[in-house]
Amino acid sequence: MKKFKLLLACLLMAVSTALFAQNRQISGTVTDQNGEPVAGAYVLVKDTNVGATTDFNGAFRLSGVPASSSTLVISFMGMKTVEVPVAAQVSVVLESESEYLQETVVTALGITKSQKAIGYAATTVRNEDITASRNNDAVSALAGKVAGMQVSNSSTTAGAAQSVIIRGVSSIGRSNQPLYVIDGIPLQSVTVYNTQSGYGNLGAGIGSINSDDIETMTVLKGAAATALYGSRASGGVIVINTKSGKGKNRTQVTVNAGVQFSSVSTLPEFQDKWGTGWNGELTLDENGSWGPILNGQIREYGPIVNNSQMIKSFIAIPNNIRNFYETGVQYNTSVALQGGNETTGYYVSYSNVTDDGILPYDKDTYKKNTLSFRGNHQAYKWLSLESSINLTTQATDQVGQGSQNTSIIEGLYQSGRDISFIDAKDLTNVFNTPAGWYTPYGITNPYWLIENAYNHTDMKKVFGKVQANITPIQQLTLSYRYGFDYTDFDRKLTEAQIALPSTNPNASSTNMEGTVVASYGRYYETNHDFLANWSDQYVGGRLDINATVGANINERYSTTEAAQVTGLTFDTGFWDLSNTSKQPTASESQSKRRGVAIFGDFQFGWDDQVYLDITARNDWTSTLPIKNNSYFYPGATLSWLLTNTFDLSSTPLSFGKLRLAYGKTGNDPNVYQTTATYAQGSSGGYFGAGTALSFPFGGYNAFMKSATLASDSLQPEMTTEFEVGADLRFFNDRIGIDAAYYDRVSDMQIFSLPVDPATGYNTMVMNFGKVSNKGVELLLTTTPVRTRDFKWTVDFNWSKNHNKVVSLPEGLDGGKASITRDGWGDIYMYAEVGKPIGQLYATLPVKTDEGQFICDPKTGLPKQSSDLQDTGYNVQNDWVGGISTGLTYKNVSVSATLDIRHGGKIYSRTKSLLWFTGNSIETTYNERRAFIVPNSVLEDGNGGYVENTVPIDLYSGTFQYYFDGNTSNPIEGSACTLIDRSYTKLRNLTISYTLPEKWLKPVGIKGATLSAVGNNLFVWTPSSNPYIDPDQGFTTDLTGMLGEYFCTVPCRYLGFNVKVIF
- Angle CA(765)–CA(768)–CA(769) in degrees, nearest 5? 140
Nearest of 999, 1017, 1005 to residue 1053 by alpha carbon: 1017
Instruction: Give dist(CA 623, CA 619) in Å, integer.
Output: 11
DSSP state, residue 404:
G
Smallest distance from other proteins to CB 693, Å: 5
Shortest Cβ distance from residue 357 to other proteins (Å)?
27
How near is the Cβ of 442 to other proteins at its closest, in Å?
5
Q: If we measure between CA atoms, which residue out of 304, 388, 302 comes closest to residue 345? A: 388
Which residue number, 371 or 532, has a Cβ lying nearer to other proteins? 532
Q: Are strands 708-709 and 763-786 parallel, antiparallel or unpaired?
A: parallel
- Nearer to other proteins among residue 589 and residue 949 (C-beta): 589
In angstroms, give the least distance from the CB of 814 to other proteins. Answer: 8
Q: What is the DSSP letter of 35?
A: S
Within its chain, how far is the Cα of 633 from the centroid? 29
**Cα–Cα distance, 61 to 51 (Å, whole number):** 9
Q: Is there a contact between 770 and 803 (Cβ–Cβ < 8 Å)?
A: no
SS3 734: coil
State in angstroms the smallest separation of the CB of 297 from other proteins: 26
Beta carbon nearer to other proteins, 10 or 676:
676
Q: How far is CA 210 from CA 214, 465, 1015, in A?
A: 7, 17, 18
Q: Which is nearer to other proteins, 341 or 865 (CB)?
A: 865
**In terms of Cα–Cα distance, which of 322, 445, 401, 443 is closest to 1044?**
401
Backbone torsions φ then ψ of 938, nearest 5 degrees: -115, 155
Instruction: List the one residue out of 365, 455, 356 whose CA is nearest residue 402.
Output: 455
* Closer by beta carbon to other proteins, 584 or else 784: 584
We find the least distance from the C-beta atom of residue 695 to other proteins, in angstroms, to be: 7
Q: What SS3 state is found at 943?
A: coil
Cα dihedral 143/145/150/153 (nearest 10): 0
- CA dist 255 to 9, 335, 348, 647, Å? 17, 5, 12, 47
Would you say 644 or 762 has its CB closer to other proteins?
Answer: 762
Strand spans (E) along 890-980: 892-902, 905-908, 936-939, 945-947, 978-980
For the CB of residue 502, give the shortest distance to other proteins in the complex, in Å. Answer: 9
Give the nearer residue to other proteins in terms of CB position, either 14 or 676.
Answer: 676
Q: What's the closest the beta carbon of residue 508 comes to other proteins, in angstroms?
A: 5
The nearest distance, CB 910 to other proteins, in angstroms, is: 19
Judged by beta carbon, residue 370 or residue 403, the one nearer other proteins is: 403
Compute the distance between CA of residue 61 and CA of residue 53 in angstroms, rounded to an integer. 8
With b meaning 16 or more CB within 10 Å and e meaning fewer, what string describes 81-99?
ebeeebeeebebebebbbb
Q: How far is it, in rounded angstroms, from Cα 242 to Cα 226? A: 19
Q: Which is nearer to other proteins, 629 or 746 (CB)?
A: 629
DSSP string for residues in 253-309: EEEEEEEEEEEE-----B--SB-SBBTTB--TT-SSB-SSB----EEEEEEEETTEE
Between CA 527 and CA 368 the distance in angstroms is 26
Output the smallest distance, CB 571 to other proteins, in A: 17
- DSSP β-bridge partners for residue 220: 122, 237
The residue among 670 and 732 lying less far from other proteins, judged by its C-beta, is 670
Which residue, 378 or 691, is less far from other proteins as judged by CB? 691
Q: How far is the CB of 622 from other proteins (least distance, A)?
A: 4
Q: Is 214 or 624 the residue whose CB approaches other proteins more closely?
A: 624
> 379: how many CB neighbours lie within 10 A of its CB?
11
Rounded least distance, CB 443 to other proteins, Å: 10
**Minimum CB distance to other proteins, residue 713 (Å):** 14
CA dist 166 and 120 (Å) reads: 14
Q: CA gyration radius for the chain?
A: 32
Nearer to other proteins, 93 or 596 (CB): 596
